Amino acid sequence: MDAAAGDVVIGEVYHWLSDPAHWSGPDGITVRLTEHVLLTVLSVLIAVAIGLPLALWLGHRGSGGSVAINVTNIGRAVPIVALLALLSMGVFGSADFGPFGRAGLATLVTLSLFALPPIITNTWVGMREVDRGIIEAARGMGMSEAQVARRVEVPLALPLIVSGVRLAVVQVWATATIAALVAGPGLGRIIKHGYDAQRGAEVVAGALVVAVIALALERFFALVQSWATARASGQAARSVGAAA
Amino acid sequence: MFPLAADNCLTRNDWICGAYYASRAGVLRDALVQHVALVFVSVLLGMLLAIPLALLARRYPRLEGVVVGTTTAIYTIPSLALFSLLVPLTGLGVVTVVVGLGLYSLTILVRACLDGLASVPADVVEAARGMGYSGARLLRSVELPLALPTIMGGLRVATVSAVALTTVGAILDYGGLGTLLIQGKETDFRAQVLITSLLCVAMAVILDLALVAAQRLLTPWTRQQVTS
């Protein structure tokens, strides 16, 4: 494709996106977008529900460090395409799963697994990086272990915990696109359909929707993270003040 | 002719099937070679661009914000979307896959190079300047060797990620093992999906271990440190 063809594609992309017919119907952008959002939100929630307490507990005790660190390295080495193909051909099957669409259950499980590593690693590291002096001071003031964790460690670890959730959300949003390559639902289906039909405009339009929302998610969580950081430094000052 | 209802691992669609590996060894080998080649070329491309970019960003602080911001933005874009957005520029072929994978490697490697150079102790650089080192010689003999552990860490992450991401290139028919994997999924061929998946993971582990070994050879002074 030469540069001139590229120009044509951009115009076609706008044309494709502004056609209401492409937004409605069972294969429209609206349905795919809903699947994509549902999958991302639920799988990150599942990963937080499992990973957060585990990593908070391990981080508070200071054990399980090699597991907490290596889980990220392992996650990176496993191709999402492979895991999803194996799960949808094996235990979970490719059947429709409510509003989550085709192979919804296999996709949900795969994405939850992919959301776990950043949450576990960041939470664990965040808990370990809390100043030991502050924790000792809190214990010295007679706080129980649960109080130390809840009132001192978690607030101070919050910026890294939020950064883990941010990574998980962005990664899952991105990964959910790839699900369509194999069997799954989501916005990737529009891109895949475009490739199969050799329609460049549809490919680029689908990609554009995914990319714009990915960047928006990233910006949103960056704001949450800076809020958490500001809060943590205030907390640190208070903790040190209380300890002094 | 084979009888139609021949009972073997192929007709039973077993997850593990020796007959398949034996009869399609050539196809599997070709896919493996393509996969390694795609990873190697794209990570190399990322590295060749990352070093000068990191040096420029370090020299011009205003550029650093732009470089870090742009690379973060690229990393946020899903791979399937990135490949697709490149299609109008680079076409429906192998160039798109290599450029896409190269861009992801670049984002990881630029960060690693910047972090590595920033981690060089200022007093070491001062001492080297005092001994008459400057410019390219300072960079080559003092700064790069000291930045190497961090850069190698980035290279490991970039390589392992590239092995997994290459599978997505299947959408453009250049996905190495990923092409076979997705073809296996579409035809519900279990043995093909399992073996290509396992080969991907094995490749990532082997390349990672090779880079750890290379790092130990290149930076013998860090051997006391624990490398994860």
Cross-chain residue pair B182–A182, CB shorter than 8 Å: yes
Biggest distance spanned by C-alpha atoms of chain B:
83
Q: Does A5 touch chain B (CB under 8 A)?
A: yes
The more confidently predicted of residues B4 and B41 is B41
Q: What is the pLDDT of residue B226?
A: 52
Assess A33–B contact: CB distance below 8 Å, yes or no: no
Nearest chain A residue (CA) to B93: A1
Round to whole Å and give the CA distance between A179 and A177: 5
- Is the confidence at residue A157, as pLDDT, over 80? yes
Q: Identify the H or E element spanning A89.
A: helix A80-89
pLDDT of amino acid A62: 87
Q: Which of B72, B78, B82 lies closest to A173 in CB terms?
A: B78
Q: Residues A191-219, buried b or exposed e (16+ Cβ, 10 A)?
A: bbbbbeeeebbbbbbbbbbbbebbeebbe
Distance of CA B135 to CAs A157, B59, B87, B131, Å? 41, 12, 40, 13
Of B121, B37, B110, B26, nearest to B68 by C-alpha is B110
Query: How close, in Å, is residue B46 to chain A by CA atoms?
Result: 18
pLDDT of A4 over the 50 cut = no
Taking only the tens place, the pLDDT of each residue in A7-29 is 556 788 888 888 888 888 888 88
Helix B190-218 crosses helix B144-166 at what angle (to 10 degrees)? 180
**pLDDT-derived band at A241, boundaries 50, 70, 90:** low
Q: What does the block give as tokens for B163?
A: 């092995």
Q: How far is A197 from chain B (nearest CA, A)?
A: 12
Instruction: Please name the residue of chain B whose CA is at the shortest distance from the CA of residue A178.
Output: B80
User: How many Å from the N-terminal Cα to the C-terminal Cα in chain A?
Assistant: 68
Is residue B227 predicted with pLDDT exceeding 80? no
Q: What is the mean pLDDT of residues A162-184?
A: 88
* Number of residues that make up chain B: 228
Q: How far apart are CA A158 and CA B207, in angstroms?
A: 35
Q: Are B85 and B25 in contact (CB under 8 A)?
A: no
Any CB–CB contact under 8 A between A208 and chain B? yes
| Average pLDDT, rounded, for chain B | 89
Separation CA A83–CA A74 (nearest Å): 13
Tokens of residue B64, six digits: 């650093």
Find the residue in A nearest to B189 (Cα).
A89
pLDDT digits (tens, 9 = 90+) for A32-88: 899 999 999 999 999 999 999 999 999 998 888 888 878 887 888 888 889 999 998
> Which of B74, B79, B84, B86 to mutate: most A Cβ within 10 Å?
B84
Comparing CB atoms, the residue among A89, A188, A214 nearest residue B185 is: A89
Global pTM? Answer: 0.84
Chain B residue numbers with beta carbons less than 8 Å from the beta carbon of A86 are: 193-194, 197
Give the pLDDT confidence of B39-70 residue by residue, as tens digits.
999 999 999 999 999 999 988 888 888 888 88
Segment B66-122, tens digit of pLDDT: 888 888 888 878 888 888 888 888 888 899 999 999 999 999 999 999 999 999 999
Instruction: Please judge whether A207 and B168 are an interchain contact, meaning their C-beta atoms are less than 8 angstroms apart.
Output: no
What percentage of residues in chain B have a pLDDT greater than 90? Answer: 59
Tokens describing residue A146: 């649960």
Is the CB of A85 less than 8 angstroms away from the CB of B182? yes
Separation between Cα atoms, residue A206 and residue A195, nearest integer Å: 11
**pLDDT value for A243:** 53
Q: How far is B172 from chain A (nearest CA, A)?
A: 8
CB-CB under 8 Å, B193 with A82: yes
Residue B210 is predicted with a pLDDT of 96
Q: How far, in Å, CA of A85 to CA of A97, rounded? A: 16
Rounded to whole angstroms, the Cα distance separating B210 from B177 reads: 20
Interface of B with A in 162-201 (CB under 8 A): 163-165, 167-168, 170-172, 178, 181-182, 184-185, 188, 190, 193-194, 196-197, 200-201
8 Å CB contact of A188 and B80? yes
Residues of chain A neighbouring B85 (CB-CB closer than 8 A): 204, 207-208, 211
8 Å CB contact of B88 and A88: no
A93-126, pLDDT tens digit by residue? 777 777 777 788 889 999 999 999 999 999 999 9
Compute the nearest-CA separation of A199 from chain B (Å): 11
pLDDT at A1: 42
- State the Cα–Cα distance between residues B126 and B134, nearest whole angstrom: 10
Q: What is the mean pLDDT of residues A119-138?
A: 91
Per-residue pLDDT tens over the stretch B113-140: 999 999 999 999 999 999 999 888 999 9
Q: Would you state the pLDDT for residue A55?
A: 94
Banded model confidence at residue A2, pLDDT cuts 50, 70, 90: very low
